[in-house]
Amino acid sequence: MATPFDEKGDVDPAAIRSNVTRWVAAGVRGIVALGSNGEAPLLDERESDAVIAAAREAVPRDRLLLAGTGRESTRGTIDASRRAASLGADAVLVRTPSYFKPRMTTDALVAHYTAVADATPIPVLLYNYPAVTGVTFAPDAVRRLAQHPNIAGIKETTVDAAQIGSYVDASAGESFAVLAGSAPGFYAALCLGAGGAILAAACVVPRLCVQLFEAFDRGDHGKARELQRRLIPIAVAVTSLHGVPGLKAAMQLTGYIGGPPRAPLSPASAEAVGSLKSTLQPLEEFL
Amino acid sequence: MATPFDEKGDVDPAAIRSNVTRWVAAGVRGIVALGSNGEAPLLDERESDAVIAAAREAVPRDRLLLAGTGRESTRGTIDASRRAASLGADAVLVRTPSYFKPRMTTDALVAHYTAVADATPIPVLLYNYPAVTGVTFAPDAVRRLAQHPNIAGIKETTVDAAQIGSYVDASAGESFAVLAGSAPGFYAALCLGAGGAILAAACVVPRLCVQLFEAFDRGDHGKARELQRRLIPIAVAVTSLHGVPGLKAAMQLTGYIGGPPRAPLSPASAEAVGSLKSTLQPLEEFL
Amino acid sequence: MATPFDEKGDVDPAAIRSNVTRWVAAGVRGIVALGSNGEAPLLDERESDAVIAAAREAVPRDRLLLAGTGRESTRGTIDASRRAASLGADAVLVRTPSYFKPRMTTDALVAHYTAVADATPIPVLLYNYPAVTGVTFAPDAVRRLAQHPNIAGIKETTVDAAQIGSYVDASAGESFAVLAGSAPGFYAALCLGAGGAILAAACVVPRLCVQLFEAFDRGDHGKARELQRRLIPIAVAVTSLHGVPGLKAAMQLTGYIGGPPRAPLSPASAEAVGSLKSTLQPLEEFL
Amino acid sequence: MATPFDEKGDVDPAAIRSNVTRWVAAGVRGIVALGSNGEAPLLDERESDAVIAAAREAVPRDRLLLAGTGRESTRGTIDASRRAASLGADAVLVRTPSYFKPRMTTDALVAHYTAVADATPIPVLLYNYPAVTGVTFAPDAVRRLAQHPNIAGIKETTVDAAQIGSYVDASAGESFAVLAGSAPGFYAALCLGAGGAILAAACVVPRLCVQLFEAFDRGDHGKARELQRRLIPIAVAVTSLHGVPGLKAAMQLTGYIGGPPRAPLSPASAEAVGSLKSTLQPLEEFL
């Protein structure tokens, strides 16, 4: 989920609750607060807690609330993860540390996530996002971490079919879910054994994402592939093309509360908004 | 197919015929002469012709012989493609020019391939290999070129699920095949609509590749996914891990005629050969 | 400067003061607290303040204390910069936001740094570190920002001679210093017009760095080039080769208080320490 | 030097002789035929020989004629180098093989260049161009190859000050010249110990390049730095900005015979030509 700000630029808990309520009604399995598209790196610790608390109020107990709690230091990550648990999150989603990339070997990642999973009272999900972090999990790192009883899965944002498959294979036999993190690769990931997805586009067209998953789940590859094709343009528009500003603009266009992003991000241009409108037009049935 | 050399380092036509005969018996749909794994960039023009001629003698008319004929210049590519046609090739596989990468815009690629397809009496396949060339087809380039009556498909070597899907979507409705060019992404590419594959690993375990395709073709996703999992270690070993020297060593280990590569490539080390042996061991049923 | 931690893993103000006192005695012009090599991304806000306060106690008023205050959000950066000013820093060094790299256009960077420079009572230095951030200043961004009366320079960590020269040229005529940020490019940067350097290696061999600068300053290119040659092995060892763990180990070997890094970083291996010892041996005259 | 083609698109020996005569009159030390900017990868073997022969007719014996003879295979490179020698070249410039990049280890490069230097009757220069090839010489490769009596230097196209310096240091004491291959880094390379340069921009503003070198040579750093600043815009325009098409257009604008490039390259657009005109305007004194 994106994080809406009020007119003063502060976190807007009422807007969060309103958006979450609509997404839940659309049938999503859960909500991720404080992911990349939630502008988590732009919030301070106090604000982060407020976002989780607001989301929890609106996410019913039969759905999942995940909270992004990755920090650069192991101790900071543990601290944020424990706070998230105490605020009612069901699991934490922890991106790889990235500032000291060349030191983030498999051993370092295993030590980091093991320490976090040991210290956190709720399940931990790994989060692989090399386009941003410059760090990626080797399949062997996934194999080792999947054996930890408190590590429940990985969000994989690449669309590398070989890598997605390797994560599935590396964690076979463990209670561990590979989740697609990039909408254009959602269907392929499901074919390869992914158990679901965490997608920015689901903030705008949640029904399309849910229907794609359900089509695949009942073995209707043709329908799933067709929905995949229809999902791509809006997914690209709210990520690589227009980024978080585009995501928030698209939310505004579809009845959610988006609002402006926080600086140094700037609002989507009028041109971008026009382009988003066109991209959304053929998707009305999913809004 | 790899290109075997004799003791003096020259192209060995008898060895080519021997290998091709075995691959054909294993059930492959066709043979690619002068691909990257055929060390094409290391052969001169006269040698290239000899390879095609030798392969044609052993490829029966009900199978396909493709010849790699990409050169840096459009005129050189046309010349090589016409010669390949006159030597009996069924189609040519043309890698993107790459030396002047920043100039290889969509317009430049469309002009290049259109000129080649116009001038060549047999069908042309595009060949996308950005890891080597630093050039990649935008989906729009594929869309435009797929409309050419003499352009029949693309070999796509990446494992980027979004890109493979975009090529399939961009050429929908045309007589145009997307072929997987990387074994670890074979199954995913098939799910996304690829019509087949051109794989280095098929030089060593052709039956495994053919069975994977057949399993998918009859709708047995579970079997196809399982064969995909088994294919990966040997596929990685004969490409990214040990390269052409590893491919030729693996061929030697499985009864084909591999022999040493041409300098500046050097033969696989004893350690690499040992590792290849272990990798091949669990695949005996496919040799 | 590196940030030493005590046995409990907390910031050690006494160790900071001790190190700073020695560096100042070695003749450096100033100290940077909370840079990359200060593990700034691994400290929380309260700890960051403690580091600046401790450094200020030991940096005499005729030397400069710079504080790293870059955060992902503009508001977070302003807040940290104002606190640094109130704690006695002479200037702030602000790395580019990087999480939302594709949005960090020249306009976005100009807006971000203008807002920070407007709101901060002490001079602001830009910090270009694309190897970590994936973001780089176009020369035009430097040209525009150099005109701001409260932006005093840039730390440039690449060794790209064309870029270093372009920053010097883009800021010609302004009160703006280009500072080398990578020891292996120090001499070349001086030739191109850099006014100094901020170097990890200066934590270990400050005298060597100072002598190189002084040799260049008096026009002795031969001596400067020779000192550059001698500087490279230790500079590489405490940055790209062994990272912050290596820097801290080398400090320990040369009489400073280094200590272990904070997780997810792990201490330099015994092998790395041995290698650092050998690298330091021919530099005894500069310790 | 660029390679002019006649109206039928064939190599134009008369135009080569005309251009070379003018460049020689401008004071350059030598001419490189069949470099990247000579569109060497777009010529066949017979054409390559014709270019060398034509250039030799116009290069007086007191200047140097270098010929680009790099091919992907060692045997092809040896063959081309011997032919160049027999056609009167004074030395050959051999780019790294690149198609099988991951195999181009230091050992492989040392073996390749040693074989070429052993078999070629004229001196061999290494050619490092990673932006095109994806292959780069480690300093240790330069150190080993600089000891070969028939390897005389390296053209280094990067502007990486650390790497240029490392090549100079690695070959210290040998009869081996490091030559700058990128105009924006020319002055910095000279400071670091380069002995000259091979520059595309010298096809257009040879006097500017020569004067920069002479200013440095007589110790006038200020003048050299100033000329460097003036050289950059045209150098960028005829390389990264507009490529070989731009180089040929700029030659046409300055009285040389440029003509169109060979496909898949296409001629510079009218807009590019207009921009080149403006870039050349302040350089009239050097034409």
Chains C and A lie in contact, requiring 3 or more CB pairs less than 8 Å apart: yes
DSSP-derived secondary structure for chain A = ----B-TTS-B-HHHHHHHHHHHHHTT-SEEEESSGGGTGGGS-HHHHHHHHHHHHHHS-TTSEEEEE---SSHHHHHHHHHHHHHTT-SEEEEEPP-TTGGG--HHHHHHHHHHHHHH-SS-EEEEE-HHHHS----HHHHHHHHTSTTEEEEEE---BHHHHHHHHHHTTTSS-EEEE--GGGHHHHHHHT--EE--GGGGT-HHHHHHHHHHHHTT-HHHHHHHHHHHHHHHHIIIIITHHHHHHHHHHHTTS---PPPTTS-PPPHHHHHHHHHHHGGGGGG-
Residues of A with CB under 8 A from a CB of B: 159-166, 169, 182, 184-185, 187-189, 191-193, 221, 225, 228-229, 232
Closest-CA distance, A186 to chain C, in angstroms, reads 22
Q: Which of C162, C228, C232 comes nearest D159 by C-beta?
A: C162
Is the CB of C161 less than 8 angstroms away from the CB of D189? yes
- The answer on pLDDT for C287 being more than 90 is no
Is the CB of B188 less than 8 angstroms away from the CB of A187? no
Chain B residues whose beta carbon lies within 8 Å of the beta carbon of residue D132: 99, 101
Question: What is the pTM assigned to this prediction?
Answer: 0.97
DSSP-derived secondary structure for chain B = ----B-TTS-B-HHHHHHHHHHHHHTT-SEEEESSGGGTGGGS-HHHHHHHHHHHHHHS-TTSEEEEE---SSHHHHHHHHHHHHHTT-SEEEEEPP-TTGGG--HHHHHHHHHHHHHH-SS-EEEEE-HHHHS----HHHHHHHHTSTTEEEEEE---BHHHHHHHHHHTTTSS-EEEE--GGGHHHHHHHT--EE--GGGGT-HHHHHHHHHHHHTT-HHHHHHHHHHHHHHHHIIIIITHHHHHHHHHHHTTS---PPPTTS-PPPHHHHHHHHHHHGGGGGG-
Chains C and B lie in contact, requiring 3 or more CB pairs less than 8 Å apart: no
Between strands D151-156 and D124-128, the pairing is parallel
Q: What is the largest CA-CA distance in chain A?
A: 50
* pLDDT number for residue B287: 84
- Rounded CA-CA distance B250/A154 in Å is 35
Interval A226-247 mean pLDDT: 98
Chain D residues whose beta carbon lies within 8 Å of the beta carbon of residue B112: 263-264
Residues of B with CB under 8 A from a CB of A: 159-166, 169, 182, 184-185, 187-189, 191-193, 221, 225, 228-229, 232
Is the CB of C108 less than 8 angstroms away from the CB of A132? no
Q: Which of C8, C101, C155, C277 is catalytic?
A: C155
- The answer on pLDDT for A287 being more than 90 is no
Burial of D121 (0-12, 13-18, 19+ CB in 10 A): exposed
Chain C residues whose beta carbon lies within 8 Å of the beta carbon of residue D188: 161, 164-165, 188, 191-192
- Which percentage of chain D shows pLDDT scores above 90? 100
Closest to C257 (Cα-Cα) out of C10, C9, C8, C12: C12
Closest-CA distance, A60 to chain C, in angstroms, reads 31
DSSP-derived secondary structure for B154-171 = EEE---BHHHHHHHHHHT
Query: Rounded to whole angstroms, what are the CA distances from B145 to A107, A158, B70, B100?
Result: 47, 28, 16, 21
pLDDT band at D287 (very low <50, low <70, confident <90, very high): confident
- The answer on pLDDT for A96 being more than 90 is yes
- Alpha-carbon Rg for chain C, nearest whole angstrom, is 18
Is the CB of C164 less than 8 angstroms away from the CB of D166? no
D2-18 tens-digit pLDDT:
999 999 999 999 999 99
pLDDT band at A95 (very low <50, low <70, confident <90, very high): very high
Beta bridge partners of B67: B33, B92
Size of interface A-C (CB pairs under 8 A): 97
- Chain B neighbours (≥3 Cβ pairs under 8 A) are A, D
- Chain D neighbours (≥3 Cβ pairs under 8 A) are B, C
Residue of chain A whose alpha carbon sits nearest to that of C72: A42
Is the CB of B229 less than 8 angstroms away from the CB of A193? no
Q: Which of C74, C76, C265 comes nearest A100 by C-beta?
A: C265
**Mutation target vs C (from A103, A110, A126; most C CBs, 10 A cutoff):** A103
The catalytic residue positions of A are 155
A161-173 tens-digit pLDDT:
999 999 999 999 9
Give the N- to C-terminal CA distance of chain B in Å, as an integer: 16
Closest-CA distance, B86 to chain A, in angstroms, reads 38
- The answer on pLDDT for A74 being more than 90 is yes
Chain B residues whose beta carbon lies within 8 Å of the beta carbon of residue D263: 73-75, 111-112, 115
C117-148 tens-digit pLDDT:
999 999 999 999 999 999 999 999 999 999 99
* pLDDT number for residue B155: 98
* pLDDT number for residue B47: 98
Chain B residues whose beta carbon lies within 8 Å of the beta carbon of residue A164: 161, 188
* pLDDT number for residue B241: 97
Interval D195-210 mean pLDDT: 98
D221-277 tens-digit pLDDT:
999 999 999 999 999 999 999 999 999 999 999 999 999 999 999 999 999 999 999
Query: Rounded to whole angstroms, what are the CA distances from A22 to A1, B238, D26?
Result: 12, 51, 74
Q: Give every residue of chain B whose pLDDT is below 70, as ranges.
A: none
Tokens of B258: 């591999």
Closest-CA distance, D60 to chain B, in angstroms, reads 31
The continuous run of DSSP H or E covering D126 comes out as strand D124-128
Chain C residues whose beta carbon lies within 8 Å of the beta carbon of residue D182: 162
pLDDT band at C187 (very low <50, low <70, confident <90, very high): very high
Residue D261 CA, distance from chain mean position: 17
Closest-CA distance, D148 to chain C, in angstroms, reads 23
Q: Which of C72, C102, C134 comes nearest A243 by C-beta?
A: C102
Chain A residues whose beta carbon lies within 8 Å of the beta carbon of residue B232: 162, 165-166
Is the CB of D161 less than 8 angstroms away from the CB of C232? no
Is the CB of A73 less than 8 angstroms away from the CB of C245? no
Reply yes or no: is the peptide bond before residue B264 cis, omega within 30 of 0: yes
Closest-CA distance, D173 to chain C, in angstroms, reads 14
- The answer on pLDDT for C172 being more than 90 is yes
**Mutation target vs A (from B143, B220, B225; most A CBs, 10 A cutoff):** B225
Chains B and D lie in contact, requiring 3 or more CB pairs less than 8 Å apart: yes
Q: Which of A9, A42, A111 comes nearest C264 by C-beta?
A: A111
Question: Could you give all domains of chain B from N- to C-terminal order, each with its CATH number?
Answer: 13-219 (3.20.20.70)
- The answer on pLDDT for A37 being more than 90 is yes
Residue of chain B whose alpha carbon sits nearest to that of D110: B264
D135-189 tens-digit pLDDT:
999 999 999 999 999 999 999 999 999 999 999 999 999 999 999 999 999 999 9
